[in-house]
Structure 1
Amino acid sequence: MRIKNLQITEQDIIKASWELLDDIGIEAFSMRKLAELLKIQAASLYWHFKSKQSIFQTLANEVAKEALETANLEGAWQEQLFNFVDRIRGVLHKYPCSAQLMMRTLPSEPNYLSLLNTLLQIVDHLPLSDSDKFSLIACVLNYVISFELDKYEQDRIDLAMKNEPNGDARVVFKQSLEHLSGDGPNVIKRMYENNIFNEIGSDKMFYTGLKIMVSGIEQLANERQEREEQEE
């Protein structure tokens, strides 16, 4: 990527930032490496962004913007919440290191704030306190972000273990299972042998967890509604 210093734009920097994240990851990301990718002096970046963190804030805002633009907020609140969170996951999966960006940035950018507000709007009519509504949406958002983070870290571990003398991560894990001590059945070994561990990071596992969370919210709301009716 070759851009003359006088012609560089904020969008050029954003595009290059995504490329750099895809290439080296968020841990190794730096303004110096970004400038090298753009073939410019690092000082030129500071005309547009005051720091690496400000770039991360902008990238996270772009992720939130796309999730909002493609959200399907129709049907019952359970369906809205499920579909919106699923869409957020799709956008996180699309952009490199976007889950890390969402965790490392403040939700102070306009689209990020709108994303949070939209999630809260979906459950705002439920007979719950504002504290409960905020807590449950925080849990749901943390779930989708953590799910993508786990997948990212697992891929890194698998890649790193391939260079180890003992082979890949699955071989090491299987050896550990054979030496698991303790009373009772070795449930985790049974699940491993039945290929349950192959579902880690899968759509099936994500949807199962999300359904559990939505069902839990519904149950909490129903219990609160019943309690209020009894008190009347």
Structure 2
Amino acid sequence: MPKRRPHISEEKIIAASWKLLSDQGIENFTMRNLSKELNVQAPTIYWYFESKQVLYQTLANLVSKEIISDLPKQGDWRERLQLSATVIRSKLQQFPCSGQLLMKSRPEADFMELFECLLQMIEPTSLTDKQKFSYTTHFFNYVINFAVEEYEQRMLQISLEEDHNENTHVDLSQFALLQRMHEEDMFKLMGSDELFNSGILLLLDGIEQRVKKV
């Protein structure tokens, strides 16, 4: 470890981390690669972040803060949750691999505040606390996992494009329904806004039905 504070800032490390995550993905993210990106020795980074996990935690906290700042303040519970889903997904797309970072990090104050904001949206309903907590968890997990799946599909597509010789055709002849839907071009829905929004509406419709029954 360097004995004197190195000539680099935490902000530069964070900016370089986002760039590295965007360029190489979270699978190839290492402190060694980060030091190369910054053109410094690895111990320099450890002056600010004692481990990769601590750096991940910092990035996850920043994403939570960014989401909180853009969450809707007006509207009924359904309107606010629907808009929140779009906000969360947009922020997860803006910050590379941030869905994975949230999943890999332990919940700290910023994450708790984010979840608290979502709970406050559904608080005015007549649902029980158990239902409020469960449904908000399902809602939040759906958005995060959708963003992670988008990333995985993008990485797979890049991999396939790099290997032009690989035969990627899948024989669907023995799967009648899948073949029919493939012919109808349904597979293009994967990772689309339409698929995302239909999932959110399905969740909100389910919650609304529970609200009406209480």
Q: Which has the larger radius of gyration?
A: 1
3-state secondary structure, aligned to 2:73: coil
State the Cα distance separating 1:75 from its structure 2 match. Answer: 1.0
Other-structure match for 2:101: 101
- Provide the residue aligned with 2:73 in structure 1: 73
Alignment partners' CA distance in 1, 2:60 and 2:209? 32
Q: Which residue of 2 aligns with 1:20?
A: 20
TM-score, normalisation: structure 2: 0.92
Give 2:32's aligned residue.
32
Does the 8 Å contact 2:118/2:136 carry over to 1? yes
Q: CA deviation at 1:40?
A: 1.3
TM-score by length of 1: 0.85
Distance apart, 1:155 and its partner CA = 1.8
Output one character per residue of 1:121-175: Cα deviation in whole Å (capped at 9) or x when no partner: 111122222222111111111101111111111122222234164434xxx23x2
Q: Aligned to 1:198, which of 185, 188, 191?
A: 188
Match of 1:116 in 2: 115
Residue 77 of structure 2 contacts residue 124 of structure 2 at CA under 8 Å; is this kept in 1? no
**In the aligned structure 2, how far is the partner of 1:14 from the partner of 1:166?**
37
The number of equivalent residue pairs is: 209
Whether 1:178 aligns to 2:178 is no
Distance in 2, Cα, partners of 1:32 & 1:130: 46
Amino-acid identity (%) = 38
1: CA distance, partners of 2:129 / 2:72:
24
CA distance in 1, matches of 2:23, 2:159: 16
Q: Match of 1:138?
A: 137
Is 1:188 aligned to 2:183, yes or no?
no
In structure 2, what is the equivalent of residue 220 of structure 1? 210
Deviations 1:106-126 (A, max 9, x none): 121x32221111001111122
- Residues 2-59 of structure 1: per-residue CA shift (max 9 Å, x gap): xxx7321111111111011111111111111111111111111122111101111111
Q: Residue type of the partner of 2:138?
A: C
Q: What's the counterpart of residue 53 of structure 1?
A: 53
Root-mean-square deviation over aligned CA pairs: 1.5
Partners of 1:161 and 1:167 within 8 A in 2: no
For residues 37 and 59 of structure 1, what CA distance do their matches in structure 2 show? 17
Measured against aligned partners, the alpha-carbon deviations of 1:73-105 in whole angstroms (never above 9, x if no partner) come to 211110000101110000001111111111111
Distance in 1 (alpha carbons) for counterparts of 2:59 and 2:156: 25
Q: Gaps (5+ residues) in structure 1?
A: 181-185, 226-232
Unpaired segments of 5 or more residues in structure 2?
A: none
Kept after mapping to 1: 8 A contact 2:57/2:106: yes
**Equivalent position amino acid for 2:211 in 1:** A
